[in-house]
Structure 1
Amino acid sequence: MDSTPPSPPPFWRPDIHANRRPALLARGRIKAALRRWFEARDFTEVEAAILQVSPGNETHLHGFGTTLVDDAARPHPYYLHTSPEFAAKKLLAAGEKRIFDFARVFRNRERTALHHPEFTMLEWYRVGEDYEVLMRDCAALLAEAAAAAGTSVLRWRGTEVDPAAEPERLTLQEAFARHAGIDLLRTVTADGEVDRGALAADALEAGLRVVPDDSWSDIFSRVLSERIEPHLGRGHATILCEYPISEAALARPKPGDPRVAERFELYACGVELANAFGELTDPAEQRRRFEADMAEKERIYGERYPIDEDFLAALESMPTASGIALGFDRLVMLCTGARRIEDVLWTPVAPPGGGGA
Structure 2
Amino acid sequence: MMPSAQASPWWDKDRHADRRPFLVARGRIKQRLRAWFEAEGFTEVEAGQLQVSPGNEAHLHAFATEAVSIDGRRAPLYLHTSPEFAAKKLIAAGETRIVDFARVFRNRERGPLHHPEFTMVEWYRVGAPYEQLMADCASLMRLACAAAGTDNLVWRGASADPALEPERVTLQEAFERHAGIDLLASVAASGETDRDRLAAAARGAGIRVAGDDGWADIFSKVLVEKIEPRLGFGRPAILCEYPVSEAALARPKAGDARVAERFELYACGVELANGFGELTDPVEQRRRFELEMAEKQRVYGERYPIDEDLLAALAAMPPTSGIALGFERLVMLAAGARSIEDVIWTPVPRDEAR
With the shorter chain as reference, the TM-score category is over 0.9
CA positional deviation for 1:112 = 1.0
Instruction: Give the TM-score of the pair, scaled to structure 2.
Output: 0.98
- 1:254 is matched with 253
Between the two proteins, what is the percent identity of the paired residues? 71
Q: Secondary structure at the match of 2:7?
A: coil
Aligned length: 351
- 1:47 is matched with 46
Bigger shift: residues 6-15 or 31-40: 6-15
CA positional deviation for 1:71 = 2.7
Any residues of structure 2 matched to 1:314-333 within 5 Å, and which? Answer: 314-333=313-332
Any residues of structure 2 matched to 1:162-177 within 5 Å, and which? Answer: 162-177=161-176
Supply the distance in 2 between the matched residues of 1:200 and 1:79 (Cα, whole angstroms).
Answer: 36
CA contact (8 A) 2:264 2:274 kept: yes
Supply the distance in 2 between the matched residues of 1:71 and 1:17 (Cα, whole angstroms).
Answer: 42
CA positional deviation for 1:70 = 1.6
Any residues of structure 2 matched to 1:283-294 within 5 Å, and which? Answer: 283-294=282-293
- 2:199 is matched with 200
The answer to whether 1:115 aligns with 2:103 is no
Supply the distance in 1 between the matched residues of 2:247 and 2:28 (Cα, whole angstroms).
Answer: 33
Unaligned runs of 5+ in 2: none
- 1:128 is matched with 127
Deviations 1:196-242 (A, max 9, x none): 00000000111110010000000000000000011100000000000
- 1:236 is matched with 235
- 2:63 is matched with 64
Deviations 1:65-98 (A, max 9, x none): 0010123220000000000000000000000000
Deviations 1:94-124 (A, max 9, x none): 0000000000000000001100000000000
Q: Secondary structure at the match of 1:132?
A: helix
CA positional deviation for 1:247 = 0.1
For residue 161 of structure 1, what is the amino acid of its counterpart?
Answer: A
- 1:266 is matched with 265
Identify if the C-alpha distance between structure 1 residues 197 and 7 changes in structure 2 by more than 3 Å, giving closer, same or farther: farther
Unaligned runs of 5+ in 1: none
- 2:303 is matched with 304
CA positional deviation for 1:353 = 4.5
For residue 327 of structure 1, what is the amino acid of its counterpart?
Answer: G
Supply the distance in 1 between the matched residues of 2:310 and 2:71 (Cα, whole angstroms).
Answer: 26
Any residues of structure 2 matched to 1:85-234 within 5 Å, and which? Answer: 85-234=84-233
Supply the distance in 1 between the matched residues of 2:5 and 2:202 (Cα, whole angstroms).
Answer: 39
For residue 213 of structure 2, what is the amino acid of its counterpart?
Answer: D
For residue 179 of structure 2, what is the amino acid of its counterpart?
Answer: A
C-alpha root-mean-square deviation of aligned residues, in Å? 1.0
